[in-house]
Amino acid sequence: MTPYPPASEDSEASEHTQAERAAAASRSTWVSVVVNLVLTTTQIVAGVLTKSQALVADGVHSLSDLVADFVVLLANHHSQKDADADHPYGHHRYETAASLVLGLLLLGVGLGMLWTAAVKLEQPDAIPQVHLAALWVALGALAAKELLFRYMLAVAKRVKSSMLVANAWHARSDAASSLVVGLGIIGNLAGYPILDPIAAAIVGFMVTKMGWAFGWDALHDLMDRAVDDEEVAAIRQTLAGTPGIMGVHDIRTRKMGDMVVVDAHIEVDATLTVEAGHDIAVEARRRVMQRHRVLNLMTHVDPWHRPDRDHDKVASAPTP
Question: pLDDT class for 196, splitting at 50, 70, 90?
Answer: confident
Q: How far apart are CA 183 and CA 173, in angstroms?
A: 15
Residue 67 has phi, psi (to 5 degrees) of -65, -40
Predicted local confidence at residue 201, as pLDDT: 86
More confident residue, 203 or 247: 247
Segment 228-277, tens digit of pLDDT: 889 999 999 999 999 999 999 999 998 887 788 999 999 999 999 999 99
Segment 226-239, tens digit of pLDDT: 888 899 999 999 99
Helix axes 53-79, 162-189, angle to 10 degrees: 170
Using alpha carbons, select from 73, 65, 51 the residue that is nearest to residue 141: 65
Sign for the CA dihedral angle at 240, 245, 247, 249 comes to: negative
Q: In the chain, which residues fall in CATH 1.20.1510.10? A: 7-222
Degrees (nearest 5) of the Cα angle 241, 247, 248? 85
User: Does the reported pTM lie above 0.85?
Assistant: no
More confident residue, 225 or 77: 225
Residue 149 has phi, psi (to 5 degrees) of -60, -50
Task: For domain 7-222, say whether CATH 1.20.1510.10 is its number.
Answer: yes
Q: In the chain, which residues fall in CATH 3.30.70.1350? A: 229-316
Sheet holding 294-304, edge to edge: 245-256, 259-269, 294-304
Region 229-316: CATH code: 3.30.70.1350
Judged against a pLDDT cut of 80, whether residue 119 lies above it is answered with yes
